[in-house]
Amino acid sequence: MPWPINLSLSPAAYPLSVVQRTVYHLAESVAVQVAVEPDCISLQVFPADANLTLPEGQARALVLQHLNDFALRDQVNRETAGLREALVRAALTGCEFAH
């Protein structure tokens, strides 16, 4: 296996928080070294276990799938933040809290 896998990411497409969630989520399968620069986030992906038999192409796809999943979740979260706050305010309107 020609490990490690090197990926260069745009912080605009994959914010550091998305990269960190991905790295944490995949920790049992792969170990990832992250280098952050102003215009690039570089990942160096290694097998988490010496006995890992995951081919390089599948490992790369796994990392990219998780990056895209967490990036989409982050975008939906940002886009719906105002709606969630409005729903909470509406739900709490008229509620009295005992002191």
**Domain definitions of the chain by residue range:** 5-92
25-77 pLDDT, tens per residue?
999 999 999 999 999 999 999 998 878 788 889 999 999 999 999 999 999 98
Closest by CA position to 72, among listed 32, 24, 13 = 13
Q: Is the pLDDT of residue 84 over 90?
A: no
> CA-based Rg of the chain, rounded to a whole angstrom?
19
The arrangement of secondary structure in 5-92, i.e. its CATH architecture, is 2-Layer Sandwich (3.30)
Q: Is the pLDDT of residue 78 over 90?
A: no
Collapsing DSSP to helix, strand or coil, 8 comes out as: strand
Residue 74 per-residue DSSP state: H
